[in-house]
Structure 1
């Protein structure tokens, strides 16, 4: 009883202070585009593709693959809702490799929306048929993106997502992974897609997923974004089995340290690169009942909620806000 009274008093004394350290709920945005891509998104909403073409041409020329992957994803998601600018780009420059990778990603994202994230037993025959048709239509676009940008890992990230959806046999997956390694063995987005293929909910197991993630981070430099992949594996295990984090505490601690080490090594990285890792850290630390550490991640992330990992527990933005509220209460109560 005394502990509960003490916690309540601590919350009354410090709750406003902790809440004030975070942005208001109505300022929170989900999967905001990078600062570089924001003008392209704004122009695209007005039907103009030229700024998007310039942004992606720059990232391809600079071989800035992590930035490119983020911007391709933002523009592809936009094209699902507002396709006019992409259609204009297709009419103007149909062989453009940057157009090809955005369109390939758009088609693959559309397929997964048609399928939904439900368990296979809950997906209708009509949904599966639409899913298969759209993935088939994406195949040629993926090939065009690969051919138009040699050495670019971003089309291989799309290919690995496509591979999971089409349930290709392991030989096809292994070939995609070899090609990815030849382009960039440390590319976060593509290796995340590969990890999904080998996790228990798809075509592998928890052990295979952790082995893949561990090998990926061990092979990568400390400043590489892929250092956060082991944390993603922990999150995947947590989402499948809520008690999972207690089964191997050393691995969980290593995953947290790897992710935090990457963040510390990249203090100037944009929110489009760091927000997802901070969101995932906050969710894992919340589950571990370490609210002060989770709070620090939320404070650092500011308004930048990300669909992953929160979508695993419901509507992503609502889950972010709900967990954020709980974390503030817990952190203030523990002061």
Structure 2
């Protein structure tokens, strides 16, 4: 049975399927073991970003591997969707074992189990892309496994290029490669920023790609010393306004990651002291809460969000 719409004491809605009610039939089908319902839902999705976010939603359903594993191993029919979703689920299971803790706080046993799950996921995804070379969902998840299995930068870029060959302006693909290009995954901020600016410059009108600027600046902010924060935030106002302008473009088609964009904008505008701009983003968010990026601040994420929202709305 699916949980009732969960909210906290602040009345905030947390679950992705409640942020986007159109995803609820998919979540229900996955939770109830209805493979035909899952297939039918994906048959109605054509946007690569939407397909990926729907895949991630399925991958987070507890116990869904009991549905996906047999479908992925079936000897008849098209197994590419099942293998793609099972690969995503294996990565989720592996990361749940590893946890989000820093490497020094993860045990050898946790690392071993994490790696074993990601190797199995990689094989599922390789099979899916071999049969269906334009399977952007599987290729994007293979950028995730490239990071998890610590393959080189060139291989991660090759996987991204396979996505871009079929869909050159898919924000989640760029977000996943951005992670690989950062210093925490053996990259550099210089390489990461160069990639971000290249992709933003190439984005067509109405594209969600300018939101990549926000991901980069959040990551860069996390690495700053206290005395560097204020000058850095003062330098990125133009980038924040570029991303804000994207959300106001009549051609912008907000998908299943719209609230991530609004939360990142609210977060960075608030940190930069631009409360009027932050207030507009908090209004767009409404009750649709996400832990990230508010969990990057000291204290509880929900308290950070509600306090900064109150400040912004009072001023803006």
TM-score (norm 1): 0.81
1:135 to 118, 121, 124: 118
Equivalent residue number for residue 218 of structure 1 = 201
Cα offsets for 1:36-83 (capped at 9, x unmatched): 321121232223222221111222xx3x111111111111111x4444
Equivalent residue number for residue 175 of structure 1 = 158
Larger radius of gyration: 1
The equivalences for 1:209-248 within 5 A come to 209-241=192-224, 243=226, 245-248=229-232
Equivalent residue number for residue 326 of structure 1 = 307
Which shows bigger deviation, 134-143 or 34-43?
34-43
The equivalences for 1:130-169 within 5 A come to 130-169=113-152
Q: For the residues of structure 1 that align with 2:271 and 2:49, how far apart are their CA atoms? A: 29
CA 1:230–1:251: 2 relative to 1, 3 Å:
farther
Q: For the residues of structure 1 that align with 2:59 and 2:43, how far apart are their CA atoms? A: 15
Contact 2:182–2:188 under 8 Å retained in 1: yes
The equivalences for 1:99-138 within 5 A come to 99-138=82-121
Deviation of 1:248 (Å): 4.3
Equivalent residue number for residue 55 of structure 1 = 41
CA 1:278–1:116: 2 relative to 1, 3 Å:
same
Equivalent residue number for residue 293 of structure 2 = 309
Identify the structure with the greater helix proportion.
1
Cα offsets for 1:166-217 (capped at 9, x unmatched): 1112332232233222122211111111000111221112222111111111
Deviation of 1:324 (Å): 2.9
Q: For the residues of structure 2 that align with 1:51 and 1:248, how far apart are their CA atoms? A: 48
Contact 1:225–1:262 under 8 Å retained in 2: yes
1:186 to 169, 185, 207: 169
- Higher relative contact order (Cα pairs below 8 Å, separated by 6+ residues): 1
Deviation of 1:163 (Å): 0.4
Aligned positions, number: 306
Q: For the residues of structure 2 that align with 1:127 and 1:262, how far apart are their CA atoms? A: 41
Q: For the residues of structure 2 that align with 1:165 and 1:314, how far apart are their CA atoms? A: 27
1:287 to 268, 271, 275: 271
Q: For the residues of structure 1 that align with 2:41 and 2:192, how far apart are their CA atoms? A: 34
Partner SS for 1:224 = coil
Contact 1:278–1:301 under 8 Å retained in 2: yes
Partner SS for 1:241 = coil
> 2:67 aligned with 1:72, yes or no?
no
Which shows bigger deviation, 296-305 or 248-257?
248-257
- Where structure 2 has 5 or more consecutive residues not aligned to the other structure, the ranges are 1-7
Q: For the residues of structure 1 that align with 2:294 and 2:222, how far apart are their CA atoms? A: 10
Q: For the residues of structure 2 that align with 1:226 and 1:236, how far apart are their CA atoms? A: 16
- Where structure 1 has 5 or more consecutive residues not aligned to the other structure, the ranges are 1-22
> 2:11 aligned with 1:31, yes or no?
no
Contact 1:72–1:105 under 8 Å retained in 2: yes
Cα offsets for 1:120-142 (capped at 9, x unmatched): 12211111111111111112111
Which shows bigger deviation, 159-168 or 32-41?
32-41
Contact 1:234–1:245 under 8 Å retained in 2: no
Which shows bigger deviation, 227-236 or 117-126?
117-126
Deviation of 1:298 (Å): 1.6
Contact 1:228–1:255 under 8 Å retained in 2: no
Equivalent residue number for residue 282 of structure 2 = 298
Q: For the residues of structure 2 that align with 1:267 and 1:30, how far apart are their CA atoms? A: 27
CA 1:157–1:242: 2 relative to 1, 3 Å:
farther
RMSD: 2.7
